[in-house]
Amino acid sequence: MTAETFGARLHAALGHHGPLCVGVDPHPELLQAWGLPETVEGLERFGELCVEAFVGRVALVKPQVAFFEAYGSGGIAVLERTITVLREAGTLVVADAKRGDIGSTMSAYARAWLGEGSPLASDAVTVSPYLGFGSLDPVLELAERNHGGLFVLAATSNPEGAQVQLSTGADGRKISQVMVDEAAARNAGADVLGSVGVVVGATLTDAPDLSALHGPILMPGVGHQGGTADDVRRLAGDCLRSVVPSVSREVLRAGPSVSALQEAVARSVEAFRFLQD
């Protein structure tokens, strides 16, 4: 991997392309809408069209790993090629894998998604800290060594998440706040933007205090899922310049036309341009 940290690379990409992450989510309904078969061949064409539409136009691309895994080894091969082509073209990739485990298993996940020479190697990966933030140490260590990044699930917008994330720990902090604070500790001393980001849903009524994070805030839920620019402002507070809104269906429903996908990207980037003002 490059000697420049993920946080620094993302900061530069946001400045160049604007604040946006676009998902590559080959949901069966989207494959049908694009006139593609629900096969590995259809998956491959979907990925090719997304690559053509997004390379050089967005700061971050986020393949949703589960939609590729559903096709078995053929789907994983398509995912490998999609990640490789995007990265070779200079576009940052975060693998939306949401991995979370302990010990040697977490080390294996780290090698899969951030290891040098891995066919799935990405610039960053999403991870779940709900076996304890310390369970992420193998990913944190490899990310630091290989100049990669991670996005820690902190405050997700699914209703079930509140059962864990909004509960109070022994020190009186909500668990979601603990996860943000742990991420912030790993970003201390970063020059422009730390490489340990968090995921905060744009449809939440409230969010943890993000003021000390000094890392990127991946914010899904905007657009199709109901989150608005006002929601982003409310949740991010003084950290607007660190927010990376994440859209999928909002852009992908414009396909399969590459030009239409590119126009949808341009509209989304413009809608969130205020984040850099």
Q: Measured in whole angstroms, how far is the alpha carbon of residue 220 from the centre of its chain?
A: 8
Nearest to 118 by CA among 155, 158, 168, 84: 84
CA gap 135, 133 in Å, rounded = 5
For the chain, list the strands marked E by DSSP: 21-24, 60-63, 92-99, 124-127, 149-155, 196-200, 217-220, 243-247
CA gap 199, 128 in Å, rounded = 10
- Burial status of residue 55 (CB atoms within 10 A of its CB: 0-12, 13-18, 19 or more): middle
Within 8 A by CB and 6+ apart from 45, the residues are: 36
Looking at 70-174, list the stretches that DSSP marks H as alpha helix, in order from N- to C-terminal side: 72-88, 103-114, 137-146, 162-165
Long-range contacts of 164-172 (CB under 8 A, 24+ apart): 164/130
Rg of the chain over Cα atoms, rounded to whole angstroms, equals: 18
DSSP type of residue 43: H
How is residue 159 written in tokens?
């209703």
From the candidates 57, 98, 234, 267, which is the catalytic residue?
Answer: 98
Alpha-carbon distances, residue 215 vs 6, 51, 69, 208, 275 (angstroms)? 10, 26, 29, 14, 15
Examine the residue annotation and report whether 174 is marked as an active-site residue of this protein.
no
Annotated catalytic residues are 98
